[in-house]
């Protein structure tokens, strides 16, 4: 594809910006004999990386590997990710500080999820005692853990992107401080019935890597098989150096790979800051996974991060609306969740699409959706189409599942229940029901049992429940439409449900 001049300039600016942002760990005899972290290659010039530029001619084998990492490969038919773990984060703070689109524990759509993680709790910088980040959080803990079942575990995440890196480092640095943390954490989890912990130490230094392995080793010794352990793993090279994932893999249940926020107005520096870029392109994600492959990390332990939000820009020119074009600032804020850096949660993206009727396109190479509207608004995001592509891609890499940040960005849903809606309809509807469908199902009238056939064989997209009230005295009214089920990979039809004695037009 030929690029316009503005796009070509934009791509060059982006490349220069990426180089300026990249934190390259120096290595070799001219750099105090330092080895590259995670067994990546040390180039002839003394820089660490994973491509042939670093691993080829002149590579210094005494200070790292000299082989381009081998990327795991599985048959897509294996569906290791598609049929694997489904992990969803839920942010407790929004339950009490958001004025709109609040998602309470009871509103989380749990069908199809294997793990729910409440974000976040933290710990004291002196005593290392674990506690709530905010006192208002506590009332929601028991509501959250009440969601657990034989197929769903409820965990607690400790830390987060805004939590002190120094406090993490201090806690992990000695046996006594780790012991205090672990003892308090175990008591905290017992009190509120959490079944596992997600360590959200997002910015460890290279010098922290050994202590982090020791921490999870001691956690596992204290937990045994009673509690689960996971760790959030950053995608950027500057932070991932502090994760010896291969060493940690012996003790954790899984890793949550944060494959988002890779670019954006509030992330990239000049000159890339002013260039339209996807925040979660699969091309970038593939590159960002390379250090884990160099580190011999087991791919089955990795959950691929899926953002339930997008990142956008205000375009400099109405004639250039693609990746690589110039931007003058972040996109406009969402209607509910306000963010000045161009972040828009998925529920607000859906509202913007309804209100603005934008041009929406799928970039299948990047596995990103793009919506543009007006003369200058651009936002890239993930949705049902990109998730299907990314899961197939993850299957090919032998990954173990997906993790969604965060369910409250999308009305409590991760996108698909993975289960038939039939039981839910039986529970919600009277016995006399009538099913009218859109034309792709030939307007077939379906009895309740046949609805399962509509989904499993005819691949219907979703169900919307329309409950009407009728009595011998006449029609009384109806509720709003209530979406109760949707499947990410089944997008051919929508089914509407009505009582047979009061059929509304479809």
Please tell me which of 186-190, 352-356, 446-450, 459-463 the model is most confident about, judged by mean pLDDT: 186-190
DSSP for 210-262 reads: HHHHHHHHHHHHHHTTSSEEEEEEE-SHHHHTT--HHHHTTT-SEEEEE---S
Say whether both 170 and 100 belong to one domain: yes
Q: Which helix (H) or strand (E) holds 76?
A: none
Say whether both 53 and 138 belong to one domain: no
Residue 358 within any structural domain of the chain: no
Say whether both 188 and 141 belong to one domain: yes
CATH of residue 295: 3.20.20.80
Residue 9 within any structural domain of the chain: no
Residue 365 within any structural domain of the chain: no
Please give the tally of structural domains in the chain. Answer: 3
**120 vs 266, more confident:** 120
Q: State the pLDDT confidence band at 272, using cuts at 50, 70 and 90.
A: confident
Cis? peptide before 420, omega within 30° of 0:
no
Output the six-digit token pair for 481: 């439409």
Please count the other Cβ atoms lying within 10 Å of the Cβ belonging to residue 128: 21
Residue 357 within any structural domain of the chain: no
Q: What is the 3-state secondary structure (H, E, C) of 330-361?
A: ECCCCCCCCCCCCEEEHHHHHHHHHHHCCEEE
**377 vs 272, more confident:** 377
Say whether both 28 and 154 belong to one domain: no
Residue 323 within any structural domain of the chain: no
Q: Residue 135 region, left (φ>0) first, then alpha (ψ -120 to 50), else beta?
A: alpha
For residue 186, CA distances in Å to 116, 145, 190 come to 18, 15, 6
Calculate the average pLDDT of the chain: 83
Say whether both 46 and 143 belong to one domain: no
Residue 93 within any structural domain of the chain: yes
Say whether both 83 and 46 belong to one domain: no
8 Å CB contact between 358 and 379: no
Say whether both 105 and 229 belong to one domain: yes
For residue 72, CA distances in Å to 53, 130, 300 come to 21, 37, 10
User: Average of pLDDT values for 330-351?
Assistant: 96
Give the domain range for residue 54.
19-63
Say whether both 128 and 235 belong to one domain: yes
Say whether both 274 and 390 belong to one domain: yes
How confident is the model over 85-99, as pLDDT tens digits?
999 999 999 999 999
CATH of residue 36: 3.30.60.10
- Dmax of the chain from CA atoms? 91
Instruction: Tell me the angle at which helices 165-172 and 209-223 cross, rounded to the nearest 10 degrees.
Output: 70
Whether pLDDT at 1 is above 70: no
8 Å CB contact between 171 and 216: no
Whether pLDDT at 74 is above 80: yes
Q: Alpha helix locations (H) across 279-404?
A: 282-294, 346-356, 384-396
Output the pLDDT for position 395. 95
Domain termination residue (choose one: 8, 34, 63):
63
How confident is the model over 387-426, as pLDDT tens digits?
989 999 999 999 999 999 999 999 998 864 333 344 444 4
Whether pLDDT at 216 is above 70: yes
Whether pLDDT at 437 is above 90: no
Residue 8 within any structural domain of the chain: no
Q: State the pLDDT confidence band at 210, using cuts at 50, 70 and 90.
A: very high
Say whether both 32 and 147 belong to one domain: no
How confident is the model over 139-175, as pLDDT tens digits?
999 999 999 999 999 999 999 999 999 999 999 999 9
Say whether both 439 and 388 belong to one domain: no
Output the pLDDT for position 160. 96
Q: How far is Cα 287 from Cα 308, in angstroms, rounded to an integer? A: 21
Say whether both 391 and 453 belong to one domain: no
Instruction: Read off the pTM.
Output: 0.80
For residue 302, CA distances in Å to 11, 22, 234 come to 31, 23, 12
Output the pLDDT for position 467. 34
Residue 249 within any structural domain of the chain: yes
User: Average of pLDDT values for 132-140?
Assistant: 98
Output the pLDDT for position 396. 96
Output the pLDDT for position 489. 34
Output the pLDDT for position 427. 44
For residue 296, CA distances in Å to 128, 291, 293 come to 32, 9, 5
Lowest mean pLDDT among 256-270, 408-422, 483-497: 483-497
User: Average of pLDDT values for 2-29?
Assistant: 49
Whether pLDDT at 477 is above 80: no
Lowest mean pLDDT among 113-117, 237-241, 275-279: 237-241
How confident is the model over 21-71, as pLDDT tens digits?
344 458 999 899 999 999 999 999 999 999 999 999 999 999 999 999 999
């Amino acid at each position: 594809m030929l690029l316009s001049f503005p796009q070509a300039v934009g791509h060059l600016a982006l490349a220069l910006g990426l180089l300026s942002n990249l934190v390259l760990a120096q290595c070799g005899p001219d750099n105090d004999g330092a080895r590259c972290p995670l067994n990546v290659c040390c180039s002839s010039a003394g820089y660490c990386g994973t491509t042939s530029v670093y691993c080829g001619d002149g590579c210094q084998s005494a200070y790292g590997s000299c082989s381009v990492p081998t990327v795991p490969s599985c048959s897509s038919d294996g569906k290791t990710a598609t049929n694997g773990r489904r992990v969803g984060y839920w942010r407790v703070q929004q339950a009490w500080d958001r004025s709109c689109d609040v998602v309470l524990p009871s509103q989380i759509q749990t069908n199809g999820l294997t793990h729910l993680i409440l974000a976040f709790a933290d710990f004291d910088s002196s005593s290392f005692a674990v506690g709530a980040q905010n006192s208002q959080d506590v009332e929601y803990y028991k509501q959250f853990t009440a969601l657990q079942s034989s197929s769903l575990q409820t965990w607690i995440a400790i830390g987060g992107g805004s939590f002190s890196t120094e406090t993490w480092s201090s806690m992990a640095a000695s046996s006594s401080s780790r012991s205090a943390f672990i003892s308090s954490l175990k008591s905290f989890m017992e009190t509120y019935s959490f079944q596992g912990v997600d360590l959200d130490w997002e910015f460890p230094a290279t010098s922290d890597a050994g202590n982090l392995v020791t921490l999870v080793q001691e956690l596992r010794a204290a937990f045994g098989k009673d509690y689960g352990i996971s760790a959030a793993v950053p995608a950027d090279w500057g932070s991932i150096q502090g994760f010896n994932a291969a060493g940690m893999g012996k003790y954790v249940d899984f890793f949550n790979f944060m494959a988002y926020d890779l670019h954006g107005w509030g992330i990239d520096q000049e000159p890339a800051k002013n260039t339209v870029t996807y925040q979660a392109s699969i091309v970038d994600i593939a590159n960002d996974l390379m250090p884990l492959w160099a580190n011999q990390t087991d791919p089955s332990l990795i959950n691929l991060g899926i953002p339930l939000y997008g990142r956008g820009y205000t375009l400099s020119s109405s004639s250039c609306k693609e990746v690589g074009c110039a931007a003058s600032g972040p996109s406009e804020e969402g209607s509910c969740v306000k963010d000045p850096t161009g972040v828009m949660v998925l529920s607000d993206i859906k509202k913007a699409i309804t209100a603005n009727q934008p041009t929406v396109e799928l970039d299948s190479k990047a596995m990103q959706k793009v919506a543009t509207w007006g003369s200058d608004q651009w936002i890239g995001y993930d949705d049902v189409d990109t998730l299907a592509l990314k899961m197939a891609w993850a299957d090919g890499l032998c990954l173990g599942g997906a993790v969604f940040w965060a369910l409250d960005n999308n009305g409590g849903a991760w996108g698909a229940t993975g289960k038939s809606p039939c039981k839910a309809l039986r529970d919600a509807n009277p016995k006399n029901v009538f099913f009218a469908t859109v034309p792709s199902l030939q307007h077939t009238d379906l009895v309740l049992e046949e609805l399962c056939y509509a989904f499993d064989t005819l691949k219907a997209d979703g169900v919307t429940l329309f409950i009407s009230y009728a009595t011998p005295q006449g029609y009384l009214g109806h509720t709003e439409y209530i979406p109760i089920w949707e499947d990410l990979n089944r997008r051919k039809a929508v089914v509407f449900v009505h009582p047979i004695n009061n059929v509304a037009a479809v």
